Structure 1
Amino acid sequence: METSRRSYLKDLAHRGVIQGATISPTGENSDFCHYFGGVRYALPPLQRWRRARRLPSTFTYGTQQSPGQCDSGAGLCPQPGFLQLSPENPDAWTEDCFQCNVWVPTGEAPKDGWPVFVFIHGGWLQFGSPNGFNAGALLGEADFNAVVVMPAYRVNLFGFLYSTELAEDAASVGETVGNHGFWDQRLALEWTKENIHLFGGNPDNITISGYSAGANSVFHQLAYDLRQPDSHAIVRQACMFSNSPAVQPKSPAETQIQFNQLLTALGIPLTLPGNEKLARLRSLPAKALLDAGKTIDVHQFRPTTDSGFILPTLFESLDNGGFARRMLARNVRLMLGECRDERYLYAVWFPPKANTLSAVRTRLIADYPERIVDAALPLHFPNGQLPSDCKDWVSDAWGKIYADMQVHHMQRGFIHALTSNTGGVDASSLLYRYRIEYRAKCMDKAMPIEWGVTHSSDYPLWFWGNGDVLTPTEKKNTYEALIGPLSRFVQGQTAAGQDKFGWGTSGQENVRTFKPDGTVKIEGDAMWNEGVNVWKKLRQADMSKPKL
């Protein structure tokens, strides 16, 4: 969709003045929204692999005479390229990516402020940026009356590298290490809680949402938030689009293997003292680190059970009902779901290096603990042979098992844990499930038609074109199926155990399905038993691990 911009100044009281832009559809007299891109939420760390720093109380963005320039976008953390979603451009990279993009409705805010919709971008935690998402038409044309906040955060090895050497280095300055990307997101949430009223938002009505790895991030942010005292709670409700928690993240001993592989790939001797290893790593340019990271076996930089952001008992709290109990105590509603054909996009992200089951195993170990992989493979390939409905291992079988592990099976297991745990806690009244089988025509320019409704093909639905154009029929169908109810969900139009926003589902197996013909049907879940069975077997495998 073609839009025009004109300069817009915003006075943020004690935070000073920023210059953003008012976005309008080209040729129209009305405005979509106000946009502020690259609004700083934290100061960069003093060194690579240290925690970002909170903005001091005296921090200001600018003055009336010299306003802070916030009309572009957030900084882009160094990252590998992937299709058109993330072009690899070192000239655009910066390790100071601690900014967010803020989209604000036009007009006067309600008395208590607009609700706030924080959206965390995806990208396997390896790449991505909020700059690829456009909430303009969503606010201006679809009446999604909320302030939208999209933070950038550190990804891949800049955000999720862990080792004993890094842990000792961090402890020397009173910090924890690992999961820096998650700590960045939390800082962005805390900044939102403290400052969003300056943009007309309601700090007491924050919905945290995310897509893919952003949805996985939502789970971990929710888990962290539920552990905080009520006075420090931020999350009012949550949306997890196309992802789910799968297993307890790798232990420090397991992620040390990855760190050692990275050092070896870079020619850094493992016999060096820890401080010398880190000095060499910190002296290298970002591209050298990324290029080496692509070559090692464990090339996916994932969360670590660091006992700081992620507790060793996280998945035990799902098993025993503790997680569900805390959700109920805070009445945190959760919307979650999937696309019909997730596997096609999943199949092309770092596929196995050979057309064999062994290569699939090696590739899965880049994401998951080895014991989990060895428990999962027989469940998907019981005789160790290529299934009859798969043409090869390297794309077809790989895409299916990866999508099941990232979304389909694990999401059903997660729902099962929230509703049928050993503690007898049933949080089904807080859950709102969906399945998307509908594809907008504008996606044909970005992804092959034969991929169907694959992972991320629903971006134009959730973001009302996401900068492109939906047809009049697509707008009608999408508003009725998704955006209208989502808007009411974000507004907070429900009470505990009630559906006042028009979702229509109930119980753990009910799914709101956006059908290919544009209709909506409330259906039972045909994959429920399969997904729950896989979840249970993987939980058994995880609980059998030796105590470290």
Structure 2
Amino acid sequence: MAITERISEPYVLDLQFRGFVEGLTYIDKKTQQRLCHYLGGIPYGLPPIGPFRFQKPRPLPACYRYGTRANPGRFTGGCGMCPQPDPSDNLDEGAWDEDCLQTNVWIPVGKPPAEGWPVLFWIRAYGGFLQFGSPMGLDPCAMLCETSCKAIIVSPGYRLNIFGFLASPELLDASSDFAVNAGFWDQRLALEWTWQNISYFGGDASNITIGGYSAGSHSTFYQLAYDLGVPDTKAIVRRALMFSNGPGMQPKSLEDAQMQFDEFTANLDIPSAMTPAEKLATLRALDARTLLEATLNMKFHQFRAVTDGAFVRSGLLAELDTGVFAQRMKRRGVRLIMGECSDEHFVYGTWRTPANSRASLFHRLQADYPLRACEALMDYYFPSGELPAGYNDWQDAFGRIYADIQIHHLERGMANALVQHGAGDLLYRYRMEWRAQCCDKQKEQVLVRKAFHENLARFLKGQEMQWGTRHPMQLRTLKPDGRIEIEEDGWLEEGLRVWEILRRVGATGLPRSSRL
């Protein structure tokens, strides 16, 4: 349903001790049917600006109120967008707001079930590898009003790139108010806010599914992993959706992050002789544009999660191989839908594409992955040192390798590990080979509903799905002609081969004594 076909009216909601908020109710212009309610840009944390830049997000005070009955807080816009380069490395300061810890909420119309609406905590992919993108691209209105998927959808903004994933052991050791993996801590705070407050929106706090697409799926894995590591009394996640991304490798160490930090501060002309406290104060005083400009020509230009032992556990990926991850999922009954699209490499080959040479591809991989893993991947994919048949050029090879590691192969390693350790009954796998054709929207909607929406509705409610697979390693595939086919995974063998290669060099997080 096109946005131009909608009108809106004010929607006021009493959040009890949190006060009153005003959002919008979207209405179909022709039928006057109410479609869904929307509240945009509701703060879930205090602004991470000034002296609070690079800190863990701060929760709202217990006494925080969004508005009064006479003067409700108005939330008809959306989340602020973390400062960032666009895909072409342009910097548009007018589009940014470093105060980005807000969330958008969509609510179905009508009376909620007695227990409350199911809740989908959707981590926006941003489309930008945790480096860039807008939290405002999600529009689930048609799904909420035209399908059986009736759930409250919460989709938070969070910090990206250097603002969310700057890491340095020297700053961590020197300052108690510097946080590593701040972007993941933002997501966790938003999830906790949802758990604590969603009942005031008509939601069921005991029925929260987390999910995401691409970088949002990658984030979902780490949020799930963190939640599985907390005591049962603090656990939130009931189910998870990982669309078009997987666990990736064990994130780089803090020592690796220090090399990136040194390159970053050198680009800013911050003297290495400065104390860690002086460096941190300088980084907090500089404007956002200056910080981003310093990252554009860095060798290690990807600011992503690191293994800090706090949010990201050492040996996290090894928990899959040892069965710890599966055991925790089984104990809590956490179900998982996980899958891929067949053409992922087209997207993955577009971000900071290397020059057309083997050396440039190797150089580019090191921006994301540990050196030993990059060496192992180059040996596996290019044993002769030459470009094998099947690749158009080295840039095409980069997109395919990147997609293999972020999605295809390591996702298979994760699925296999869950099955091998007895959690296969919690796993549902899919593959999308069909591509949308804009000429027939009605046919597209019917196909997607049949392939996914009806089962998604059951999944969000905690009901049994009609997935059709006979064992958990099979794929429910939407074929190019629109058929749904249950098939064996023809890519499994190669995926497990790459998983094993990376395991041997420690890229899946096994302790050194366990490496072959």
TM bin, normalised by shorter chain, reads over 0.9
Structure 1 residue aligned with 2:437: 441
Contact residue 431 and residue 508 of structure 1 kept, 8 A: yes
Partners in 2 of 1:94 and 1:279 — Cα distance? 20
Contact residue 338 and residue 408 of structure 1 kept, 8 A: yes
Contact residue 116 and residue 148 of structure 1 kept, 8 A: yes
Structure 2 residue aligned with 1:518: 482
The Cα offsets for residues 252-280 of structure 1, whole Å up to 9 and x where unpaired, read as 10000000000111111212211221222
Quick one: which of 302, 305, 316 aligns to 1:303?
A: 305
Matched, 1:13 2:16: yes
The Cα offsets for residues 195-225 of structure 1, whole Å up to 9 and x where unpaired, read as 0001100000000001111111111111111
Q: Mapping of 1:71-150 within 5 angstroms? A: 71-82=76-87, 88-122=91-125, 123-150=128-155
Partners in 2 of 1:331 and 1:87 — Cα distance? 45
Contact residue 168 and residue 254 of structure 2 kept, 8 A: yes
Q: Mapping of 1:354-503 within 5 angstroms? A: 354-394=355-395, 396-420=396-420, 425-442=421-438, 471-493=441-463, 500-503=464-467
Q: Mapping of 1:20-59 within 5 angstroms? A: 20-45=23-48, 46-59=51-64
Post-superposition shift, 1:128?
2.4
The Cα offsets for residues 92-126 of structure 1, whole Å up to 9 and x where unpaired, read as 21111110000000011110000000100112111
Percent identity between the two aligned chains = 46
Q: Which amino acid aligns with 1:332?
A: V
Structure 1 residue aligned with 2:505: 541
Structure 1 residue aligned with 2:217: 215
The Cα offsets for residues 254-313 of structure 1, whole Å up to 9 and x where unpaired, read as 000000000111111212211221222112111111121121100000111111111113
The Cα offsets for residues 481-515 of structure 1, whole Å up to 9 and x where unpaired, read as 0111111111110xxxxxx2111124342000011
Partners in 1 of 2:471 and 2:311 — Cα distance? 31
What stretches of structure 1 of length at least 5 have no aligned partner? 445-469, 494-499
Partners in 2 of 1:198 and 1:377 — Cα distance? 52
The Cα offsets for residues 376-426 of structure 1, whole Å up to 9 and x where unpaired, read as 1122222111122222112x1111111111111111111122222xxxx22
The Cα offsets for residues 507-537 of structure 1, whole Å up to 9 and x where unpaired, read as 3420000111112111111100000110011
The Cα offsets for residues 425-471 of structure 1, whole Å up to 9 and x where unpaired, read as 221111000111112224x9xxxxxxxxxxxxxxxxxxxxxxxxx71
Greater shift, 433-442 or 87-96, is seen at 87-96
Partners in 1 of 2:259 and 2:310 — Cα distance? 20
Q: Describe the SS at the equivalent of 1:293.
A: coil
CA RMSD of aligned residues (A): 1.7
Partners in 1 of 2:470 and 2:121 — Cα distance? 26
Contact residue 225 and residue 235 of structure 1 kept, 8 A: yes
Alpha carbons of structure 1 residues 294 and 546: separation in structure 2 relative to 1, 3 Å = farther
Deviating beyond 6 angstroms after TM superposition, the runs of 4 or more aligned structure 1 residues are none
Post-superposition shift, 1:546?
8.9
The Cα offsets for residues 175-197 of structure 1, whole Å up to 9 and x where unpaired, read as x6211011000000100000000
Partners in 2 of 1:28 and 1:514 — Cα distance? 33
Post-superposition shift, 1:87?
8.0
Partners in 2 of 1:87 and 1:148 — Cα distance? 31
Contact residue 315 and residue 511 of structure 2 kept, 8 A: no
Contact residue 218 and residue 248 of structure 2 kept, 8 A: no
Contact residue 121 and residue 128 of structure 1 kept, 8 A: no
Contact residue 45 and residue 102 of structure 2 kept, 8 A: yes
Partners in 1 of 2:166 and 2:103 — Cα distance? 23
Post-superposition shift, 1:164?
2.2
Q: Which amino acid aligns with 1:487?
A: A
Structure 2 residue aligned with 1:449: none
Partners in 1 of 2:469 and 2:192 — Cα distance? 32
Partners in 2 of 1:93 and 1:170 — Cα distance? 27
TM-score with structure 1 length normalisation? 0.89
Structure 1 residue aligned with 2:202: 200
Structure 1 residue aligned with 2:327: 325
Alpha carbons of structure 1 residues 136 and 169: separation in structure 2 relative to 1, 3 Å = farther
Contact residue 467 and residue 476 of structure 2 kept, 8 A: yes
Contact residue 165 and residue 278 of structure 1 kept, 8 A: no
Partners in 2 of 1:39 and 1:169 — Cα distance? 34
Post-superposition shift, 1:88?
4.7
Q: Describe the SS at the equivalent of 1:517.
A: coil
Partners in 2 of 1:131 and 1:430 — Cα distance? 32
The Cα offsets for residues 219-265 of structure 1, whole Å up to 9 and x where unpaired, read as 11111111111111100000001001122111110000000000111
Q: Which amino acid aligns with 2:448?
A: T
